Structure 1
């Protein structure tokens, strides 16, 4: 009942915004669910597909939601190659081997003894507990070997021996017992301990000290990678990651010009709760019209990395713009392709994607 109420409210708001009647909306919802990219009814509204000014009728069929995102990813990325992206330890090991800039891993918790390179390996609960209580250097970013959406991540700034707890950047305390238990989550397959990166001074002036990554989506046709879409996940000062989570984290999303790295559109959420953002809410710095530093270098870095993963023809790279230059934070598959579509105000599927899918 709650979902029906929400959809009726959406339909009313869509009619008020565009003048499109209820019958016309629902006929379009039914058609797009049955044809095209099997768009869901909530996606029809929250991605603003109902708006004919943004998406004229012929273009709506090329708009994607979560179903089409999964289908496109499934068709373009070979299952044998997915571990290279989903297993962050393996991905970092390969990036290190190819001398591509990535975060410095200082330790790994892995009961199997896996490592990125020559960093310290913690194979038991005892070794993990002793390391975080006695030898861990700060600040440090900790994340699962296999994880997504920022789950299971920590950014610690100190250890308090009085309470045997770790202090994160917001001042929250996590006891060593709690942290060790989290590290042993089976689906994580271990944890990576990494040096914290410092944003490029120009980026820090815009958004503060939290690392905010640009997502570069690459298509690979005939073994030639090309940047398809780019957007920026802009973190708030008190968050430790830049994950958007449909606006729940308070972080922002920005559409970035693929050609020159200029910020063209910034939003705080999806329709109808989205608000256009002019300035970063924490720093007060204007965002629109600003150009990210080292843009061409970052693009070339992703293109150079992409050729090493030919079985992944749709690659989602997260790139941090740091003091030392662009850094490849991670490679992703199975990403939500509707988000860049929403920011760009154009369908994700175009001639280049159709060629890849052919």
Structure 2
């Protein structure tokens, strides 16, 4: 694994490096040191302070978001020496990453290497856009008339979400997978049943024998599908199999109890989508926004298509992402995180049509996420993962820290325009947000949600 990571770095295949980093386990002191060094170099792609000319030609709300995000990231680091070193290393690191990434991606970007390299450097200086994000977000292919400063970089994600998502007890309801399923049930949302939960090395809920069917195992504290496992049931021998591993019921339960986790039945996608997803379960990421007025609005949606031989549909794990027209439910051409793989109007393995295909039960899926967000009235934005099954939409999970890169790279444009900019302006710290928060947290006589997992006091 260490050699594969190093080889990916040397050829500036940062997508593959990050896939290996997230899917593998660090081994020994050497790789851990390299990972920390790389992480700091990535930090050095952006300047830690707001220079006077940064973000000058973007919307005021985005200018404020960028500046507050830089300040928040400096405060979080808390080490002034490291911040100063980051500032000193910024010019050579930008030059290094811009050069290496342009050499790797120029042919796929469809523009001349020199023009791409110069624009990448110019945007780093003018907008503080990291060279890696210039390519990951497809800023070189931005819509005509759009400023690069309207893009929200993935490195700003955590800070921006903290700014626009005021502290609320309901965040724990969403982050804790076990609690979320209880809340979703109280809100009458269609969810995957939880067969068993495991905490502190023991099975805490779900007594009795496991159903003889395929099962899905997820760690409670993981994000982006990390650590998820699909266990196929084989009647011959009465065991479950994942890859080369075969376990009896007792063995599977012991395996699940090794970490805080949940066990669920495996779902299958709607028949019309299986030629895009195979046996894996793909989901639609639908982002909903709560306006300061309390209205729920859908921002954007992307269908995530799993890579072959991968149990999850995560974009970082090699899957494809196809934007969904929110009005019609029709798909546009899909993209991969690795720019060199190109765009796909047809599935690269099955040849099935992607662009123009309609997502089944689309209206029902939108109604489900809007109803769910209306019930979580303290949360300003949510990224919902919804599976489309033969019986309709099923909520897999909701995320308060939804992915900026996925929505912009697959969606074909920046977040910081139109609906998002108008919504963000209402939730930035100030009088407007204070009034909206007071309204959201006022006592009401509507449905009361019990956030406690079933079986707890």
TM-score by length of 1: 0.81
- 1:348 CA drift (Å): 0.8
Structure 2, unaligned runs of 5 or more: 1-8, 13-92, 426-457
Q: Between Structure 1 and Structure 2, which shows a larger proportion of helix residues?
A: 2
SS at match of 1:263: coil
Residue 86 of structure 1 aligns with which residue? 175
- 1:326 CA drift (Å): 0.4
- 1:279 CA drift (Å): 2.3
Residue 352 of structure 2 aligns with which residue? 285
Of residues 152, 155, 160, the one that matches 2:230 is: 155
Q: Which moved more, 1:147-156 or 1:255-264?
A: 147-156
CA distance in 2, matches of 1:94, 1:148: 19
CA distance in 2, matches of 1:255, 1:291: 11
Q: Between Structure 1 and Structure 2, which shows a larger proportion of strand residues?
A: 1
Count residues with an aligned counterpart. 327
Q: Are 2:87 and 1:20 aligned?
A: no
Residue 124 of structure 1 aligns with which residue? none
Matches within 5 A, 1:108-123: 108-111=197-200, 120=206
Residue 271 of structure 2 aligns with which residue? 201
- 1:41 CA drift (Å): 2.1
CA distance in 1, matches of 2:276, 2:234: 30
Residue 223 of structure 1 aligns with which residue? 294
CA distance in 2, matches of 1:111, 1:82: 23
- 1:304 CA drift (Å): 0.6
Tell whether the 8 Å contact from 2:136 to 2:409 is kept in structure 1 after alignment.
no
Greater Rg, structure 1 or structure 2?
Answer: 2
- 1:11 CA drift (Å): 3.4
| 1:127-172 Cα shifts (integer Å, max 9, x gaps) | xxxx7xx74532111112221122221111237998x97412x454
Of residues 415, 421, 440, the one that matches 1:354 is: 421
- 1:334 CA drift (Å): 1.5
TM-score by length of 2: 0.64
Structure 1, unaligned runs of 5 or more: 34-38, 122-130
Residue 59 of structure 1 aligns with which residue? 147
Tell whether the 8 Å contact from 1:256 to 1:265 is kept in structure 2 after alignment.
no
Residue 45 of structure 1 aligns with which residue? 135
Of residues 238, 242, 259, the one that matches 2:313 is: 242
Of residues 153, 160, 164, the one that matches 1:76 is: 164
Tell whether the 8 Å contact from 2:373 to 2:382 is kept in structure 1 after alignment.
yes
Residue 337 of structure 1 aligns with which residue? 404
Indicate the structure whose relative CO is greater, using CA pairs within 8 Å and at least 6 residues apart.
1
CA distance in 2, matches of 1:146, 1:22: 40
CA distance in 2, matches of 1:90, 1:197: 20
